[in-house]
Amino acid sequence: MSNSDDILRQRLTELEVKLTFIDDAVHELATADADQSLRIAALERSLRELRGELSSMRVAPAEDPHNEPPPPHY
């Protein structure tokens, strides 16, 4: 084997190792993205539910607190 063949094999091995790390990173990022999407969807559902509860709790605007009589201990 010539020296240039050894160099090419070494470079090919290095590229294969780098590709393996890149594949792992892409897989981890895809998994994290899927997890984040699920969490965002759950948060959006919760927000819709809370908005619904809030709108059902709304009644006529509260009266001015200054017009209320003082508490009994005064």
Is residue 73 in a domain?
no
What is the value of pTM for the model shown? 0.59
Question: Which residue range is the domain that position 46 belongs to?
Answer: 21-51
- Number of domains within the chain: 1
Split at pLDDT 50, 70, 90, the class of 72 is confident
Is residue 59 in a domain?
no
User: Which tens digit of pLDDT belongs to each residue from 34-53?
Assistant: 999 999 999 999 999 999 98
- Give the 3-state DSSP-derived string for 6-69, with helices as H, strands as E and coil as C: HHHHHHHHHHHHHHHHHHHHHHHHHHHHHHHHHHHHHHHHHHHHHHHHHHHHCCCCCCCHHHCC
Is residue 61 in a domain?
no
Is residue 5 in a domain?
no
User: Which tens digit of pLDDT belongs to each residue from 2-17?
Assistant: 899 999 999 999 999 9
Is residue 25 in a domain?
yes
